[in-house]
Amino acid sequence: MEQQYIDFYKESHTLIKQHSAALMNNFRDAAFEKFERLGFPTSKLENYKYTDMSAPLSIEYGLNINRLQFQINPYDVFKCDVPAIHSYLFFVLNDTFYPVNSTAKQHLPEGVIIESLRTAAENYPQLVEKYLGKLSNEKNDGWIAFNETFAQDGFFMYVPKNVKLSKPVQLINIMRSDVDFMANSHNLIILEEGAKAQLLVCDHTMDNVHFFSNRLTEVFAGKNAVYEHYKLENTNILNTNVSNLLIHQEDSSNVLTNVITLHNGMTRNGIEMIIDGENCESLLCGMVIGDKNQDVDNFTEIVHKKPNSQSRELFKYVLDDSSKGAFAGKIQVAKNAQKTSSFQTNKNILLSKTAKMRTKPQLEIYADDVKCSHGATIGQLDEAAKFYMQSRGISESEARLLLMFAFTADVMDNIRIDALRDRMKLLVEKRLRGELSRCEGCMIC
Amino acid sequence: MLEIKDLHASINGKEILKGVNLTIRAGEIHAIMGPNGAGKSTLAWVLSGNPAVEVTHGEIIFNGKNLLEMSPEDRSREGIFLSFQYPVEIPGVSMVNFMRTAVNEQRKYKNLEPLSAADFLRLMREKKELVEMDNKLTSRSVNEGFSGGEKKRNEIFQMAMLEPKLAILDETDSGLDIDALRIVANGVNKLKRPDNATLVITHYQRLLDYIIPDFVHVFYDGRIVKTGDKNLALELEEKGYDWIKKEVETPVEQ
Ligand SMILES: Nc1ncnc2c1ncn2[C@@H]1O[C@H](COP(=O)(O)OP(=O)(O)OP(=O)(O)O)[C@@H](O)[C@H]1O
Ligand SMILES: [Mg+2]
Domain ranges of chain A: 2-432
Based on its alpha-carbon atoms, the radius of gyration of chain B, rounded to whole angstroms, reads: 18
β-pairing, A113-116 vs A155-159, is antiparallel
pLDDT at A197: 97
Cβ–Cβ < 8 Å for B177, B147: no
**Which helix (H) or strand (E) element contains residue A349?**
strand A341-350
Average pLDDT over residues B5-18: 95
pLDDT at A75: 74
pLDDT single digits (tens) B121-171: 999 999 998 888 888 888 899 999 998 889 999 999 999 999 999 999 999
pLDDT single digits (tens) B87-110: 999 999 999 999 999 999 999 999
Q: For A424-441, b where at least 16 C-beta lie within 10 A, e where not — what string? A: bbebbbebbeeebeebee
Give the span between the Cα atoms of A330 and A238, in whole angstroms. 30
Q: Give how far B132 is from chain A: nearest CA, Å.
A: 21
* Residue B17 belongs to domain with CATH number: 3.40.50.300
Average pLDDT, chain B: 91
pLDDT at A333: 97
Nearest to A406 among B50, B72, B93 (CB): B93
Nearest to A402 among B72, B81, B93 (CB): B93
Cβ–Cβ < 8 Å for B120, A418: no
Q: Give how far B115 is from chain A: nearest CA, Å.
A: 15
Q: Ligand 1 — pocket residues by CB below 6 A?
A: B 11-12, 14, 16, 34, 36-42, 85
pLDDT at A106: 63
**Number of structural domains found in chain B:** 1
pLDDT at B175: 81
Give the span between the Cα atoms of A136 and A214, in whole angstroms. 14
Q: In this structure, is residue B127 part of a structural domain?
A: no
Judged by its nearest atom, the ligand closest to the C-alpha of residue B43 is 1
Ligand 2 centroid from CA B32, angstroms: 11
Residue nearest to atom 25 of ligand 1 (CA): B36
Give the span between the Cα atoms of A37 and A16, in whole angstroms. 20
Whether residue B116 has pLDDT greater than 90:
yes
pLDDT per residue rounded down to tens, chain A (445 residues): 899 999 999 999 999 999 999 999 999 999 999 999 999 999 999 999 998 999 999 999 999 887 777 677 777 766 544 345 788 888 888 888 888 765 566 688 989 999 999 999 999 999 999 999 999 999 999 999 999 999 999 999 999 999 999 999 989 888 888 899 999 999 999 999 999 999 999 888 888 899 999 999 999 999 999 999 999 988 888 999 999 999 999 999 999 999 999 988 999 999 999 999 999 999 999 999 999 999 999 999 999 999 999 999 999 999 999 999 999 999 999 999 999 999 999 999 999 999 999 999 999 999 999 999 999 999 999 999 999 999 999 999 999 999 999 999 999 999 999 888 988 888 888 888 887 644 444 444 3
Whether residue B174 has pLDDT greater than 90:
no
Give the span between the Cα atoms of B173 and B192, in whole angstroms. 17
pLDDT at A350: 96
Give SS3 for B174: coil
Nearest to B106 among A384, A393, A409 (CB): A393
Cβ–Cβ < 8 Å for A381, A400: yes
Give chain B positions within 8 Å (CB) of A396: 71, 73
Q: Would you tell me how many other CB atoms lie within 10 Å of the CB of residue B21?
A: 13
Q: Which residues contact A256 (CB under 8 A, 6 or more apart)?
A: A227, A228, A229, A282, A283, A284, A285, A414, A416
Contact A388 B84 (CB under 8 A): yes
pLDDT at A145: 98
Average pLDDT over residues B182-198: 88
Which domain, by its residues, includes B174? 2-87+164-249
Q: Would you tell me how many other CB atoms lie within 10 Å of the CB of residue B234?
A: 15
Q: Which residues contact B36 (CB under 8 A, 6 or more apart)?
A: none
pLDDT at A82: 38
Nearest to A155 by CA among A127, A120, A116: A116
The answer to whether residue A429 neighbours chain B at the CB level (below 8 Å) is no
Q: What percent of chain B has pLDDT over 90?
A: 68
Phi-psi region of A441 (alpha: psi -120 to 50; beta: other; left: phi over 0): left
Q: Kindly report the three-state secondary structure assignment for every residue of B26-88.
A: CCCEEEEECCCCCCHHHHHHHHHCCCCEEEEEEEEEECCEEHHHCCHHHHHHHCEEEECCCCC
pLDDT at B253: 46
Sheet with A113-116: list strands edge to edge.
A113-116, A155-159, A181-191, A211-221, A239-249, A266-275, A295-304, A324-333, A356-365
